[in-house]
Structure 1
Amino acid sequence: MSRRPRLSPTVGTARNLIRAALDEAQVPEGSLLLVACSGGTDSLALAATAAYFARSGRYRVGAVVVDHGLQPDSAAVAENARQQLAKLDLDPVDVRRVEVATAGTGPEAAARTARYGALDAAVEQHAAAAVLLGHTLDDQAEQVLLGLSRGSGTRSLSGMPARRGAYLRPFLALRRTETEEICRFSGLDPWHDPTNADPALTRSRVRTQVLPYLEDALGPGIAESLYRTSRILAQDAAYLEELAAAEYSRLRAPAPATGEGGHDAGALLLSEDGLRALPPALRQRVLALAVVELGGVQPGFERLLAAENLLRRAGSAGPVQLGGNVSAYRQVRGARVPQGDPSYGSLVLRKNL
């Protein structure tokens, strides 16, 4: 009688990570999980591990392969991934071809937008309860370093969230070498994306040059330290954002009445005194919340400092451009918001159409 192969400890750890992520997200048993799979090492390891939960009957497990069409052999890569996923008995296995925009954003951002559009569509079509993403501890370390290089804030330095809506990243505590081990144990043949070693891409340079250099110069454990930093900052960012949301709700006021007796949907007010009373970490977040509510984009640190200068009531009353065509200005005494009433004592934030 043949003996079953001994379970790899790494496979056992990976299963526990998925189980913990599903329990934390309160994903109902019996529901459908979709694994986002590129055919690469990390996502194939995730699919192989998730297949265990289908065999155990706890969940139904399928997969989505997104073909970005950015490389000549992308269709063949997607088909190879589909075949390996089918051998894992995942069902359904969707291959979705997307069009990646070539203008307006960088190639990585455009591919990400197209990919999540395809995944969102798959969730809706199959009524999936969750999508599992294969990002690892190494990916998180790279993300933190990229944030540091851009001079980013707490939220950016906290890296990729373990959970955002239906999207779960159960492997953030797992090293890339461990996903390679899972693929070997499962008899899988992952695709190796050539762009991961392309020095023209910043993330590739971080992966192949910067992190290895830091390991050599500072000793082993750099990736783990960056991951630990991301977890600490994620907690801090979540707490600060909760406080900022409460302050924003308290300080926000609708724009003054328009000539028709309604409110100006393209503007809102924030109490100057209320903003001054807040510590900078909360004040800047409150200003950013107003910008986003008006349809703008997250303003940079320098833009937020410029908006804070308006509160000193010295020099220009604005406007200060904050991002996404949203501007802020201080009302001078007796002045009126366009088509509205005086609002002295408030910052006015307006979407410029």
Structure 2
Amino acid sequence: MSGPDPAVAAARRAVREALADVPTDGLVLVACSGGTDSLALAAATAFVASRAGYRAGAVVVDHALQAGSAEVARRAGEACEGLGLAPVRVVRVDVREAAGVAARDGWGGPEASARRARYAALEDQARDLGAAAVLLGHTLDDQAETVLLGLARGSGARSLAGMAPRRDLLRRPLLGLTREQTARACAALGLEPWHDPTNTPAGPEDSGAPLRSRVRHHVLPVLEDVLGPGVRAALARSADQLREDADALDALADALLTRARAGGDARGLDLDCAVLAQAPTAVRRRALRAALVAAGAPSGSVHRVHVEAVDALVQDWRGQGPVAVPGGGAVRRRYGRLTSDG
């Protein structure tokens, strides 16, 4: 008797490895849109959970941004129930309200707002149900697109490190699988995924389509035509390597902040410039960015220009005045320490 299709087996193996530490009485939730990747993940999770002894459910988030979204969400929920997942919850979120808050606070555009609203809903459901983990269906292709977008935006190492396989409750078992594999898994299992029309832009100039979709359909194919078919995998490998570097730098920056805060006010930004000045530039600037965010500056709005301006108060002190930072505050140097106003 032959085994499952190789793509089905690969998805199940990835889920099994990602959930190796889940207790036998634990609950795992799959974030399922009904699309190819998340439906393949839901099927693999249902199979693995039934044999490993833990419970597996699903959360379907309706962003209410397209006509008929409620029906799409309902069908995704039914598909998850058909796979044996329970409980299955369909949650509607108000992305437009979240986008208004984001625009006010400088936290990004509509895509970022939808992502934040989705993650907030998933985390709420996980807390309510006492879930041990929430699984997301991001694939190697998604990782490659994330890295490419970060490169185009001039982002730092943390952004170029892409999506982490695990962050708190969130886990991404399929980062080592391609979109072709998830599509094959669905076909092999007789599953009919929903295809988001916004994922197929009319052309590179189709400004109405999400930027990630335009990168997927028009930028990456050009890179593969010129550089070869291994571009996606190479970008994903780069993300893995940069994540290791970013984790190490974050640890060094955290330790630097601890030393620089000694004797100061731990509730806000209050740092010893002499301690900061002794650190390598990469570590010091990473620490300064973390300190600004901890003091209330919106993370998505703190850019390199802000960090460099604050760093100049440490490394190039000439008696200059305060530096304005996102969120309405300002950083100044007083008696050898950086402090914040606002």
Q: TM-score, normalised by structure 1?
A: 0.88
Equivalent pairs, count? 326
Aligned residue among 140, 144, 156 for 2:143: 140
Aligned residue among 3, 6, 13 for 1:6: 3
- Specify the code of the residue in structure 1 equivalent to 2:66: Q
Q: How does 1:45-124 map onto structure 2 within 5 Å?
A: 45-100=40-95, 101=97, 102-103=99-100, 104=103, 105-124=108-127
Match of 1:270 in 2: 271
Q: Specify which structure has the higher proportion of helix.
A: 2
Match of 1:203 in 2: 212
Contact 1:32/1:61 (8 A) holds in 2: yes
CA distance in 1: counterparts of 2:247 and 2:269, whole angstroms: 25
Greater CA radius of gyration, 1 or 2? 1
- Specify the code of the residue in structure 1 equivalent to 2:273: E
CA distance in 2: counterparts of 1:15 and 1:30, whole angstroms: 19
User: CA offset at residue 51 of structure 1?
Assistant: 0.8
In structure 2, list runs of 5 or more residues that go unmatched. none
Contact 2:331/2:341 (8 A) holds in 1: no
CA distance in 2: counterparts of 1:239 and 1:227, whole angstroms: 19
> What secondary structure, in the 3-state scheme, does the structure 2 residue paired with 1:66 have?
strand
Q: CA RMSD in A?
A: 1.7
CA distance in 1: counterparts of 2:266 and 2:257, whole angstroms: 18
Q: In structure 2, do the counterparts of structure 1 residues 68 and 310 end up closer, same or farther at CA, with 3 Å as the change threshold?
A: same
User: CA offset at residue 313 of structure 1?
Assistant: 4.6
User: CA offset at residue 326 of structure 1?
Assistant: 3.4
CA distance in 2: counterparts of 1:223 and 1:118, whole angstroms: 30
Match of 2:336 in 1: 345
Q: In structure 2, do the counterparts of structure 1 residues 57 and 270 end up closer, same or farther at CA, with 3 Å as the change threshold?
A: closer
Describe the superposition over 1:91-144 as per-residue Cα deviations: whole angstroms up to 9, x where unpaired: 111111111124225221121122122211211221111000000000000000
Q: Does 1:323 align with 2:326?
A: yes
Match of 1:17 in 2: 14
Match of 1:308 in 2: 311
- Specify the code of the residue in structure 2 equivalent to 1:128: A
Structure 1 stretch displaced more, 272-281 or 294-303 = 294-303
User: CA offset at residue 314 of structure 1?
Assistant: 4.6
> What secondary structure, in the 3-state scheme, does the structure 2 residue paired with 1:95 have?
strand
User: CA offset at residue 246 of structure 1?
Assistant: 0.8
Aligned residue among 26, 39, 42 for 1:44: 39
Contact 1:42/1:134 (8 A) holds in 2: yes
User: CA offset at residue 56 of structure 1?
Assistant: 1.0
Match of 1:337 in 2: none
Q: How does 1:102-251 map onto structure 2 within 5 Å?
A: 102-103=99-100, 104=103, 105-198=108-201, 199-200=206-207, 201-251=210-260
User: CA offset at residue 68 of structure 1?
Assistant: 1.1
CA distance in 2: counterparts of 1:254 and 1:311, whole angstroms: 18
Q: TM-score, normalised by structure 2?
A: 0.91
Structure 1 stretch displaced more, 35-44 or 278-287 = 278-287
Contact 2:269/2:292 (8 A) holds in 1: no
Q: In structure 2, do the counterparts of structure 1 residues 113 and 351 end up closer, same or farther at CA, with 3 Å as the change threshold?
A: farther
CA distance in 2: counterparts of 1:57 and 1:168, whole angstroms: 18
CA distance in 2: counterparts of 1:41 and 1:242, whole angstroms: 37
User: CA offset at residue 309 of structure 1?
Assistant: 1.5
User: CA offset at residue 300 of structure 1?
Assistant: 1.1
- Specify the code of the residue in structure 2 equivalent to 1:97: R
Q: Does 1:252 align with 2:243?
A: no
- Specify the code of the residue in structure 2 equivalent to 1:252: R
- Specify the code of the residue in structure 1 equivalent to 2:254: A
User: CA offset at residue 316 of structure 1?
Assistant: 4.5
Percent of aligned positions with the same letter in both sequences? 48
CA distance in 2: counterparts of 1:162 and 1:264, whole angstroms: 32
- Specify the code of the residue in structure 1 equivalent to 2:19: L
**Greater RCO between the two (CA within 8 Å, min separation 6)?**
2
CA distance in 2: counterparts of 1:122 and 1:276, whole angstroms: 44
CA distance in 2: counterparts of 1:130 and 1:29, whole angstroms: 13
- Specify the code of the residue in structure 1 equivalent to 2:199: N
CA distance in 1: counterparts of 2:314 and 2:78, whole angstroms: 61
- Specify the code of the residue in structure 2 equivalent to 1:236: D
Q: In structure 2, do the counterparts of structure 1 residues 314 and 287 end up closer, same or farther at CA, with 3 Å as the change threshold?
A: closer
> What secondary structure, in the 3-state scheme, does the structure 1 residue paired with 2:182 have?
helix
